[in-house]
């Protein structure tokens, strides 16, 4: 909290935070059926300044969610369809030889579709690892380097990627370094029977709902700064650290499942994601401080893609969520003791 802010001013700002979040949520839900938790987690990651990876079989509305979010925000939007023949230059751009009016020739940088505020990387795991790796610098440093020249990306910059399960044909696993750059990995489930009926109502009738713009990128940056002002107790920060340390098999906090099935655990980015998401959840719950449940609620989305299983874990088809469930059961008593 800023020293110059009064409690009443902070209260007004947090009320505005909740109001804007709810307006954006409702605009997206005008188009998206169900997936309330997915929508909330996606908006949370955007406000926290992070990227989102959406995983699910084709046809569940992953791409529609991102396009709807782009419609609800005053942001420059680009969609990139990832295919096996996509090259890094197709993403970031390349130097093109131009002839000047004086007859001279020189190279000029022609920007690729990555130069946008909101980038939809559709079916990202259908491209080769070489092309996937072209996103590494952009997702972390918000810049791209071509021929030794660094070009900054205009803030805010978000990558919302969709991917099909790795068991499907024509998919490549994402590099661990790239997975770690996603704030959240969200699993898109198949809709219920009631949701299916509502989907048919919205998509097979004459009137099709569309999202209207709510606010722009400057407001997202303001909301992000406001969320970071929410205090967190030292004990809870240590709990977030303990959750991440417990994902490493060599750690003293590692559970039996971690030691048996995990090859590499989460990086510090996992702890950052848990704490930032917890602060936003606290605001939405009308609180001015982080609670332990806020951290626990963010654990799965923040850690599931950061756990690299060993051969035994893969052979026994162990899910990262099962290991995180075990962490939440085990680490809590240890920290509370």
Asked whether residue 144 falls in the same domain as residue 49, the answer is yes
Same domain, 147 and 20: yes
Q: What is the pLDDT of residues 289-322, one digit of tens each?
A: 999 999 999 999 999 999 999 999 999 999 999 9
Output the average pLDDT for the chain: 87
Q: Has residue 125 been placed in a domain?
A: yes
pLDDT of 178 strictly over 80:
yes
User: Which of 260, 267, 258 minimizes the C-alpha distance to 305?
Assistant: 267
Could you report the per-residue pLDDT of 202-218, keeping only the tens digit for each? 777 766 777 888 888 88
In a domain, 223, yes or no: no
Q: Which residue range(s) make up the domain with 299?
A: 230-337
Which of 63-67, 116-120, 228-232 is the least confident region?
A: 63-67
Q: How confident is the model at residue 169 (pLDDT cuts 50, 70, 90)?
A: low
Residue 335: what pLDDT?
A: 47
Q: How many domains, in total, are found in the chain?
A: 2
Is residue 103 domain-resident? no
Q: Do 135 and 20 belong together in one domain?
A: yes
- Tell whether 37 and 179 lie within a shared domain: yes
The answer to whether position 95 is within a domain reads no
Q: Label residue 105 exposed, middle or buried (CB < 10 Å: 0-12, 13-18, 19+).
A: exposed
The answer to whether residue 214 sits within a structural domain is no
5 in a domain, yes or no? yes
Q: What is the CATH number of the domain that holds 280?
A: 1.10.8.80
What mean pLDDT comes out for the span 17-26?
92
pTM over 0.85: yes
- pLDDT value, residue 332: 59
| Residue 313 CB partners (closer than 8 Å, separation 6+) | 260, 261, 262, 263
Residue 170: which pLDDT band, with cuts at 50, 70 and 90?
low
Task: Note whether 189 and 326 are same-domain residues.
Answer: no
Q: What is the CATH number of the domain that holds 31?
A: 3.40.50.300
Q: What is the DSSP string of 42-95?
A: HHHHHHHT-EEEEE--TTSSHHHHHHHHHHTEES-EEEEE--TT--HHHHHEEE
């Amino acid at each position: 909290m800023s020293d110059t802010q009064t409690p009443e001013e902070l209260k007004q700002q947090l009320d505005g935070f909740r109001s804007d979040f709810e307006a954006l949520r409702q605009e997206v839900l005008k188009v998206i059926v169900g997936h309330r938790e997915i929508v909330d987690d996606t908006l949370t990651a955007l406000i926290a300044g992070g990227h989102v990876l959406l995983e699910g079989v084709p046809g569940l509305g992953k791409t529609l969610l991102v396009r709807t979010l782009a419609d609800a925000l005053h942001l420059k939007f680009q969609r990139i369809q990832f295919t096996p023949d996509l090259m890094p230059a197709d993403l970031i751009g390349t130097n093109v030889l131009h002839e000047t009016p004086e007859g001279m020739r020189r190279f000029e940088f022609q920007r690729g579709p990555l130069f946008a505020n909101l980038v939809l990387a559709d079916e990202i795991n259908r491209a080769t690892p070489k092309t996937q790796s072209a996103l590494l610098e952009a997702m972390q440093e918000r810049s791209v380097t071509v021929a030794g020249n660094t070009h900054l990306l205009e803030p805010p910059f978000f990558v919302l990627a969709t991917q099909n399960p790795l068991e499907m044909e024509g998919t490549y696993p994402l590099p661990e370094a790239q997975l770690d750059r996603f704030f959240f990995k969200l699993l898109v489930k198949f809709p219920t029977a009631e949701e299916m009926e509502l989907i048919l109502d919205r998509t097979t009738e004459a009137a099709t709902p569309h999202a209207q713009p709510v606010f722009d990128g400057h407001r997202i940056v303001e909301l992000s700064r406001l969320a970071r002002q929410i205090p967190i107790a030292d004990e809870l920060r240590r709990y977030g650290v303990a959750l991440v340390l417990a994902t490493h098999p060599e750690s003293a906090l590692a559970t039996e499942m971690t030691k048996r099935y995990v090859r590499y655990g989460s990086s510090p980015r996992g702890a950052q994601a848990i704490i930032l998401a917890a602060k936003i959840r606290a605001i939405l719950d009308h609180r001015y401080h982080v609670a332990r449940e806020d951290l626990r609620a963010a654990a799965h989305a923040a850690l599931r893609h950061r756990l690299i299983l060993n051969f035994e874990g893969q052979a026994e088809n162990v899910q990262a969520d099962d290991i995180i469930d075990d962490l939440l059961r085990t680490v809590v008593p240890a920290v509370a003791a």
